[in-house]
Chains A and B, each alone.
Chain A
C-alpha cells in the first residue's frame, strides 16, 4: 500500500474510533454504573449482556479492527521516525502487521465465543 493511502486510512480509522470507542465507553461508564458493567452476567449492561447484543458485539469487533490498524500503524510511524534503514523498515512493517493481525484474531475469538456463551 502507498504511504499516502495508509495515512488516509490512519485518519479515517481515527475518526471511526471516535464513534465506535464512544459507544464502547458509553456502555461501560455512562449507561450503567461501572461496577455493574464489570459483572459477568444478569444485568442489562453486564459483560455477557454486551456480547449477547449483536449490535454492541458488532461495535466491539469494528473497534477492535480500527484500533488494531490505527494503533499499530501509529507505532510503525513512530518506529520509522526513530531510525531508518531498508532491513529495519521491512522488519518493522512485518512485526507490526503480524502483531496487529494476531490481536484481531484473538479478540474476534473472544467476541464470537462470548456471543454464543451469552445465548447458552
Chain B
C-alpha cells in the first residue's frame, strides 16, 4: 500500500515540477506552486527571525530595551550573509511573479479575461488562455525580473541605482 502511495506522489511531483512540452500555461502553474511554497517557508522563517526584535522566542513580556537591542544586532550579524541575500533576491522574483500571476488567476477564475471556447484545431493552443492572459503572464515575469534586479542592487550594490 505504501508503495502505491509513493508512486502516486512521485507522479504528481513530476507533473508539477517538469513543465516542459505544454506551453506557458504549465510554466505558470509550476512557477505559481513552487513560488507559493517557497514564500510560505520564507514567511515562517521571517516571523521567527523578526521575533528577535523583542529578544527571541523565550520573551513573552516587555524585555529590557538593551537586551532586545543586543539580540536584534546579533540577529542582523547572523543574517549578513551573501547566501541569505541571494535567497532574498530570488524571493523578490517569486513574490512579484506570484502576485501578478495570482491576479491573472483570480480574473480568469471569475471569467473576466478567460478566452471563449473554440473548436480544437491544430496546433491546439488553448483558447481559454486568451491574449490578455498571456500578456499578464509575461508582465508578471517582467516585473519579477525587475524586482530581482532591484533586490540584487539593494543587497549587493551592483548597479548603484
Q: Which residues of A contact B (CB under 8 A)?
A: 11, 14-15, 17-18, 21, 29, 34, 38, 40-41, 47-48, 51, 64, 67-68, 71-72, 74-75, 78, 81-83, 99, 103, 106-107, 109-110, 113-114, 116-117, 120
A/B interface sample: 9 pairs, CB < 8 A: A14-B106, A40-B68, A40-B72, A51-B53, A83-B5, A106-B57, A110-B50, A113-B60, A117-B54
Contact, CB under 8 Å: A109 / B60: yes
A82-B8, A107-B51 provided; 13 other pairs, C-beta below 8 A? A11-B106, A18-B103, A21-B95, A40-B72, A71-B39, A75-B40, A78-B33, A83-B8, A107-B47, A109-B51, A110-B50, A113-B59, A114-B54
A-B contact count (CB 8 A): 87
A40 pairs with B9, CB closer than 8 A? no
User: Would you call B13 an interface residue if the criterion is a C-beta within 8 Å of the partner chain's C-beta atoms?
Assistant: yes
Distance, CA A92 to CA B61, complexed state (A): 33
- Nearest-neighbour CB distance to chain A for B156, whole angstroms, equals 12
Within the assembled complex, what's the spacing in Å between the Cα atoms of A79 and B8? 12
Q: How far is the CA of A107 from the CA of B46 in the complex (A)?
A: 10
The interface of chain B, by Cβ under 8 A from chain A, is: 5, 8-9, 12-13, 33, 36-37, 39-40, 43-44, 47-48, 50-51, 53-54, 57, 59-63, 65, 68-69, 72-73, 76, 95, 99, 102-103, 106, 109, 150, 154-155
Q: A64 CA to B47 CA in the complex, in Å? A: 8
Closest chain-B Cβ to A13's Cβ sits at a distance in Å of 11
Shortest beta-carbon distance from B102 to chain A in Å: 5
Q: Is the CB of B47 within 8 A of A106?
A: yes
Do B33 and A120 touch across chains, with their CB atoms under 8 A apart? Answer: no
Question: With contacts A14-B102, A40-B69, A71-B43 known, is A106 near B51, CB below 8 A?
Answer: yes
Query: Contact between A11 and B109 (Cβ–Cβ < 8 Å)?
Result: yes
Q: Tell me which residues across on chain A come within 8 A of B68, comparing CB atoms.
A: 40, 117
Chain A to chain B: the 3 pairs with minimum beta-carbon distance, closest first: A71-B40, A113-B54, A74-B36
